[in-house]
Structure 1
Amino acid sequence: MPLLNDADAVYLGASKADRVYLGATLVWGAQPRTDHLLHFDGADGSTAFIDESGMVWTGTGSVQLDIAQKKFGSASLECPSSGGVFSPVDGVNFGAGQDFTLECFFNSNSSASRVLLSVVGDGITWTFFRRSNNILSVYNGEDGTLTTAGLNISNGTWHHAAFCREGSILRVFLNGQLSATITNSRALPEFARVGIASSGYTSQDFGGYMDEVRITPHEALYTSDFTPPEAPFA
């Protein structure tokens, strides 16, 4: 008979199969994974943002849902270069040194350098940019610009962007095409705050629309060219 999940007890139960906990601390087995997917569907002008895991995200500035523009579904996130949408502090569990995938659809209205996605934790900020020369790049506060993607972005057009880590290999994809690869051993923070359209620095807030934002901890979903989704993520 398995032990109960009492305080300071080792738990070996079906609801946490293949893991051993000491109290609330995982001491053996794989870290449980929670994906975070935001469809940005809802009423025009809404500022309520809840992902498919049930996590409540907070909008800042003037971001809101817009039904006039969307990649899929009934709406998208309108980003007027003022504000963004943020998970709770330490709300996303990336795991210690784990693989991951960050991805979104975006439609920019300016060629200025602007943030698509950011990850902040343990004093480190990772930022996924749409750059002023119409390409993508990845930056972290300790190593600077890590990699720059070489495929051009057009304003007023929906693009799919993805940033993946597999081991120490970082890959950037634009519209399913592998456009940059670099080796870098620095991991994301284990627990982090994720920003959509912003990193907290208002001068870099994205202008345009974003849709189908998905954060996948513990897995590099893309390692070579792929066909971007043609329907909302399930």
Structure 2
Amino acid sequence: MKPWEMMRRFGAVSTAPPAGSTTASLLHFDGADGSTVFTDETGKVWTPTAGPTIDAANKKYGTGCGKFPYITNANGYLTTPYSDDFAFGSGDFTIQFWVRWISTTPYYGPVICLDSIGGTRGWRIVKGDTTNILQFAIDTNIDSYVLNDSGVVPTASMAHYAWVRDGSMLRLYRNGVQVASRSISGSANAPNVPCVVGALWALTGPVNNNRLYAYLDDLKVEKGFCQYPGGAAFSPPPGPLAL
């Protein structure tokens, strides 16, 4: 069964990806407990810095999840070199993942970004430092656009998030329910910097003391495809996503 057919069966509103769409990244975070190897199903290479590991005990699916630990005066993160796959342009996109915070520390908590603070701003998913609310932000050649989650980040169990561009609309879903939306215009900026999981990025590297302190599972980035259009409720994926 194709992944979108499985999603329909379980109540999602997805359709088959259109011709020309691309899975930019798919990280299942599977592997041996404590491993520092992060396999991307697309073949991209992710390099860990300062502490991220595979964690077998807190996974949502499969054999593991990504554990991003708290390290004093350091950032634990993953990077992969810039790719046009992460440059969304004016087309649709979908970014989805499962996450549970280990603790809400008084720092920004970046999930994933293609962004350059002090340079060209792109797109980013970040927990507020004091609000503990996830913010989904994207800059285009027209303006900056932000969606905020409807509540604080999950700490008791994993929650599923999906952020999509659906034509002229941005939509944010938490556990299959749309919690925010707004219109968007223009072509998304794409700074020539690494795509990063677990840190904010400046002109020359990660921003200190801004770290993801959470368990992360089944992170998928799709270019040219809105998996969840129209704002309709859906059942979160019942198993690991496929390419």
Q: Confirm or deny a common fold (TM above 0.5).
A: yes
1:139 has 2:137 as partner: yes
1:231 has 2:227 as partner: no
Residue matched to 2:228: 222
1:155 has 2:155 as partner: yes
Could you tell me how far apart the structure 1 residues matched to 2:186 and 2:199 are?
22
Could you tell me how far apart the structure 2 residues matched to 1:94 and 1:141 are?
12
Number of aligned positions between the proteins: 205
Q: Secondary structure at the match of 1:69?
A: coil
Could you tell me how far apart the structure 2 residues matched to 1:160 and 1:32 are?
22
Q: Which has the higher strand share?
A: 1
Question: How do residues 105-116 of structure 1 correspond to structure 2 at under 5 angstroms?
Answer: 105-112=98-105, 113-116=108-111
Residue matched to 1:120: 115
Q: Give the gaps of 5 or more residues in structure 2.
A: 1-18, 202-206
Cα distance change, pair 156–187 in 1 and its aligned pair in 2 (3 A)? farther
Q: Secondary structure at the match of 1:40?
A: coil
Q: Is the 8 A contact 1:111 1:133 kept in 2?
A: no
Q: Report the Cα offset of residue 202 of structure 1.
A: 3.5
Q: Is the 8 A contact 2:138 2:188 kept in 1?
A: no
Q: Could you tell me the TM-score, scaled by structure 2's length? A: 0.74
Q: Could you tell me the TM-score, scaled by structure 1's length? A: 0.77
Question: How do residues 35-184 of structure 1 correspond to structure 2 at under 5 angstroms?
Answer: 35-81=24-70, 82-90=75-83, 92-112=85-105, 113-120=108-115, 123-131=120-128, 132-140=130-138, 146-184=146-184
Could you tell me how far apart the structure 1 residues matched to 2:149 and 2:52 are?
27
**Letter matched to residue 199 of structure 2:** S
CA shift digits 1:107-131 (9 cap, x unpaired): 1022344112212378223211233
Larger Rg: 1
| Higher relative contact order, structure no. (Cα contacts within 8 Å, ≥ 6 residues apart) | 2
Question: Alignment RMSD, CA only?
Answer: 2.5
Could you tell me how far apart the structure 1 residues matched to 2:241 and 2:216 are?
14
